[in-house]
Amino acid sequence: MTALIPGLSVDVQGSYNAQTQLVADTVNFHSSDLKTAVDIQAGLAPTEQQVQQNQQQIQQSQQRIQQNQQQIEQSQEQIQAQKQQIQEQQQKLTAEQQATAEHAAAIAAANKRFGGLGEYNILGEVEVLFGNDKVTIDEKYKPQLLKLAQQAKGITAYVIQVKGYASKIGSAALNQKLSTERADNVASFLEQQGQIPLTNILAPGAMGTSKQVAPDTTAEGQAENRRVVVRILQNKGVSGA
């Protein structure tokens, strides 16, 4: 029985049973046929082993392909995220450039508006300081502003000049906004509480971070730069000087 292997040529004698199955009485084969069958089996064993190795390699290759596909998908997602970040940075840069341009234009307009002030005498001045990111007038400065307003009313042909400034901490757009609101609030206080007619108040100047009076490297310097300067001006032609 152990000699009956695939590929062996045999001569079988027997009879059929009731189930039409062949029941062998004798099984004969030649030794040369057995050797041939054994050689065939011996040749098939390495082939089957090679087939198994090939299948394993194919599976490994498929796994590597899947991993590569996953890496490609992840790389594509990263590239897309980087593109989005670049777009956001470009939009932010564009907005900052626009804000800077607006800031420069506002300062240029303010300088132009105040360019002719060399024709005026300064007859009074008050400096109002503000906290970081603050635009509300501190109570301690209000008496000084009221006193300045009272002084101005006794001067012939006076005008009130209001300039707002900010420290360089923060973006240019934010500092421009802070200087604008500070100057507007002081001008409104002079008009409402000091009873100064709007016709005697020059349009408030938002100077942003221009003309820093102290280094912004210290808290004290920053505090000095967060200011509004209020001046009583009189035309030199009126005063005769």
pLDDT for 115 = 47
For residue 143, name the pLDDT band (cuts at 50, 70, 90).
very high
Domains of the chain: which residue ranges?
1-105, 114-239
For residue 221, name the pLDDT band (cuts at 50, 70, 90).
confident
Residue type at 9?
Answer: S
For residue 192, name the pLDDT band (cuts at 50, 70, 90).
very high
For residue 119, name the pLDDT band (cuts at 50, 70, 90).
confident
Give the pLDDT mean for 204-227: 86
CATH domain 114-239 topology: 60s Ribosomal Protein L30; Chain: A; (3.30.1330)
| 22-28/11-16 β-pairing | antiparallel
Give the pLDDT mean for 81-106: 83
pTM metric for this prediction: 0.51
Residue pair 164/182 in contact by the 8 Å Cβ criterion: yes
Whole-number Å distance between alpha carbons of 241 and 236: 5
For residue 37, name the pLDDT band (cuts at 50, 70, 90).
confident
Q: What tens digit of pLDDT does each residue of 42-87 get?
A: 776 666 677 788 888 888 989 999 998 899 989 899 999 999 999 8
